[in-house]
Structure 1
Amino acid sequence: MSRICELTGKGRQVGHNVSHANNKTKRVFLPNLQNVTLLSEKLDRSFKFRVSTHGLRSVEHNGGLDNWLLKTNDEKLSPRALKVKRELKKAAASA
């Protein structure tokens, strides 16, 4: 399973461990991913996503899952999140 946030696209970053003697060795910074269940108010359903804690705060700050998905570019979203976004657009068009 890849270490990528399904809502923000945030993935691993590469950097260095730096010792006191300034020796540098490669290392990997992984995002803090959590399995969460988010509620869609327009669809009246819940969805399970693997989201970074930064992404979870961003979703809550922007007014919930529905607003976040409609505002975010498709390139950043996972295939599962894109499917939910299409359902939201379909529900909004029919309502």
Structure 2
Amino acid sequence: MARRCELTGKAVLVGNNVSHANNKTRRRFLPNLCSVTLQSEALGQSVRLRVSANALRSVEHRGGLDAFLAKSSDLELSQRARLLKRQIAKKLDDDVVVAA
């Protein structure tokens, strides 16, 4: 499984450990990934995603998973998240048509 956030696209970065003697050795900076279950209010179901702690804060700040996906770009989302975004948009469009 890739070490990449499904919502923000954060991935592994590479850099150097630099010692006091200025020796440089390669290292990896891993994202802080958490497996979480988020609720989709539009779909009425819960969704398991592997997201970074930063993305989790962003989801809370934007008002939930549905609002986060509506505002986010498709380029940074994973395949599963893009599918979820389309399902939510379709469900919300269907609800608007029925209500009108």
Equivalent residue for 1:57?
A: 57
What's the TM-score once normalised by structure 1's chain length? 0.97
Equivalent residue for 1:87?
A: 87
**Which one has the bigger helix percentage?**
2
Structure 2 letter corresponding to 1:60: E
Residue 33 of structure 2 is aligned to residue 33 of structure 1? yes
Equivalent residue for 2:72?
A: 72
Distance across 2 between alignment mates of 1:4 and 1:19: 29
What's the TM-score once normalised by structure 2's chain length? 0.92
Return the offset for 1:21: 1.0
Return the offset for 1:30: 0.6
Return the offset for 1:3: 0.1
Structure 2 unaligned residues grouped into runs of 5+: 96-100
CA RMSD of aligned residues (A): 0.7
Structure 1 unaligned residues grouped into runs of 5+: none
Distance across 1 between alignment mates of 2:25 and 2:58: 32
Equivalent residue for 1:10?
A: 10
- Identical amino acids, percent of aligned pairs: 58
Equivalent residue for 1:19?
A: 19
Equivalent residue for 1:43?
A: 43
Distance across 2 between alignment mates of 1:76 and 1:22: 36
Q: Give the structure with higher Rg (CA).
A: 2
